[in-house]
Amino acid sequence: MQVGQSWKIALSALKKNKLQTALTMVGMTIGVATVLTMISVGTGAQAAIHDQVLAAGMNLLVIHAGNFETKEDMGDGADGGVVPAAYDPVVDRPALVRVQSDGVAEDPNEDFKHKRGYQRPGDLMPGRGAAHTLTLADAEMLRRIRGVQYVSSGVRDSTMVANGETKHFAALHGDDVMEERIRRAWRFPFGRFFTKAEEEKGENVVVLGAYASEQLFGLDDPVGKRVTIKGESFKVVGVISSGSWMMVPAEGDDQFDAVYVPVTTLQRMLQRPYLSTISVTTASSGDVTRVLKLVQQTLRRRHGIGEEMADDFIVVSEARKALSLGVKPNMVSVVTGNVNGLERVTLDQLGKTLDEASSTMTALLTSIAAVSLVVGGIGVMNIMLLSVTQRTREIGIRRAVGAKAEDVLAQFLLEAMTLSLVGGMIGIALGCAASVYLTRAVQWSTKISGAAILLSFGISAAIGIFFGYYPALQASQLTPIDALGAE
């Protein structure tokens, strides 16, 4: 007998007992819906953990133009070496000290007050290479490094921003559109980031950091309004705020007490064809150390820096910068140097630990939910055994008119699979709806993947075959004489 004919017979039999069929499918529906919901909740939790780690910028490297001079280049009488926060003691580099202008011994930071010590001007004074050492070609080359996810070119300045008579002094960032992808913790309570088209045209559009926006416009929506930057009028297209508990907008903050314009616009305004910074993110937070070394090697090769010469740039990783805050300069190398592969240890292991904990919880929840699938499968077997008993005469007649044992086996197996698959598809729909509800109503992070849906569908089919095989086998083993004589 052909499979198509077997399907027709199976469907006809199920339609005759609609209530029985519906009740049997309920178990499968609940089981599949529960399993899919638990998988989506667990997967969403893992994704949320991963996003929080990346949102903190722990996979971020920032390359600054310019550097310090080496102690050897300073000549006799140089002060003791000071290692900047970005210095990697694992890489064989000479000790570095700050550049002093015209032999002046005073600390250029002595009278300069700033929220963050590492942002003081003396800490980034150009030394061996002037601060125009980074170019767009450098940024393009860094995109080719294995493990690099996004690269953003930037020009940095500071300026007075004016909204009529209201003025606020803020950091001025000229960035390309990739900066939005790099800063995963950014949220837009108002508007958007500037577009690629606006960047290419060098348009006068600006995105305000949340703190800067509050100082200029209060809590009002500033989108569509205009501000003045360096004598030019800019249209506000968005406001950036933080979506991570790790970063809170505050005064002096380099991300949120700042204004953002297209890099091409700021280069035109400042007549500055070179870059101040290049931001690089890695696909994995545990890959930062390896990529950092490749970035150093690539830029040194491109800039023609000899083996005994210092870098004409500084590479800062977020983890090293965080550990260096508040630490005396001559102790920075000790703090960062005693932990080989700092990012791998602190970030990769942290991420793996959180992922493992989340995976374990997902597996536990899914296992508990899978019990309902087993119950649903037993329900299918129970109904199919009852069906075989009720339809013994029908089986006998079919066998008497020429149906083979395998035809009867196929019919009842297809009935069991139909019950499981239809129940499973309804369960998938309910599981998706439950996940959406949890996301919108309870604010849980859920993630429904195509793999999870296919897995649920496959499990439904497998349960139909597994729990339907024994009743189908029982039906196929009935002889015409036994079947017709049973009633």
The 10s digit of each residue's pLDDT in 94-151 is 334 333 333 333 333 334 332 333 333 333 344 433 467 888 899 999 999 998 989 9
Q: Is the pLDDT score of 7 beyond 50?
A: yes
Least confident of 168-177, 260-269, 442-451, 474-483: 474-483
In this prediction, residue 227 has a pLDDT band, given cuts at 50, 70 and 90, of: very high
Mean per-residue pLDDT over the chain, rounded: 75
In this prediction, residue 433 has a pLDDT band, given cuts at 50, 70 and 90, of: very high
The whole-model pTM stands at 0.54
Q: Is the pLDDT score of 460 beyond 70?
A: yes
Report the phi/psi class of residue 135: left, alpha or beta, with left for phi > 0 and alpha for psi in -120 to 50: beta
In this prediction, residue 5 has a pLDDT band, given cuts at 50, 70 and 90, of: low
The 10s digit of each residue's pLDDT in 20-44 is 778 778 888 888 888 888 888 888 8
Predicted confidence at residue 90, as pLDDT, reads 38
Q: Is the pLDDT score of 399 beyond 80?
A: no
Least confident of 1-10, 56-65, 319-328, 364-373: 319-328
In this prediction, residue 380 has a pLDDT band, given cuts at 50, 70 and 90, of: confident
Q: Is the pLDDT score of 473 beyond 80?
A: yes
Better pLDDT: 336 or 9:
9
